[in-house]
Amino acid sequence: MKKITTTTELAAFCSEAAKRPFVTVDTEFLRERTYYSKLCLVQLAYRDAAGEDAALVDPLADGLSLEPLYDLFRDHGVVKVFHAARQDLEIFFVDQGVIPEPLFDTQVAAMVCGFGEQVGYETLVRKIAKADLDKSSRFTDWSRRPLTDAQLKYALADVTHLRDIYEFLAAQLEKSGRKKWVAEEMDVLEDPSTYRTDPDDAWLRVKTRTQSGKFLALVRELARFRETYAQKRNIPRTRVYKDDALIELASTKPQSEQDLGRSRLLLREARKGDIAEGILTAIKTGLAMKPEDMPKPDTARAKLQVNPALADMLRVLLKAKADNEGVAQKLIASSSDLDALAGGERTLPALKGWRKEVFGNDALRLCEGQVGLAVKGQKVVTVTL
Between CA 46 and CA 50, with CA 49 as vertex, the angle to 5 degrees is 75
Cα–Cα distance for residue pair 79/133, rounded to 1 Å: 25
Q: What is residue 61's predicted lDDT score, i.e. its pLDDT? A: 98
Q: What is the pTM of this model?
A: 0.90
On average, the pLDDT of the chain sits at 95
Coil, strand or helix at 55: strand
Under 8 Å between Cβ of 220 and 18: no
159-195, pLDDT tens digit by residue? 999 999 999 999 999 999 999 999 999 999 999 999 9
- Residue 139 vs residue 278, higher pLDDT: 278
Residue pair 25/39 in contact (Cβ under 8 Å)? The answer is: no
Give 237-270 pLDDT, tens digit per residue. Answer: 999 999 999 999 999 999 999 999 999 999 999 9
Angle between helices 67-74 and 7-17 (to 10 degrees): 20
Looking at residues 17-23, what average pLDDT do you find? 98
pLDDT score, position 62? 97
The Cα 232–Cα 57 span in angstroms is 28
Rounded to whole angstroms, the Cα distance separating 359 from 37 reads: 37
CB 141 within 8 A of CB 33: no
pLDDT at 40 over 80: yes
**pLDDT by residue (tens digit) across 208-229?**
988 899 999 999 999 999 999 9
* pLDDT recorded at residue 51: 93
37 pLDDT above the threshold of 90:
yes
Does the structure show a pLDDT above 60 at 85? yes
CA distance readout (Å), 367 to 119, 146, 278, 344, 374: 31, 60, 49, 8, 15
Instruction: Find the mean pLDDT for residues 352-357.
Output: 96
C-alpha distances out from residue 256 to 228, 249, 260, 277, Å: 21, 12, 6, 9
HSE on the CB side for 378, CA within 13 Å? 2
- How much of the chain, in percent, has pLDDT values that exceed 90? 93
Render pLDDT for 268-309 as a digit per residue (tens, 0 to 9): 999 999 999 999 999 999 999 999 999 987 665 556 688 899
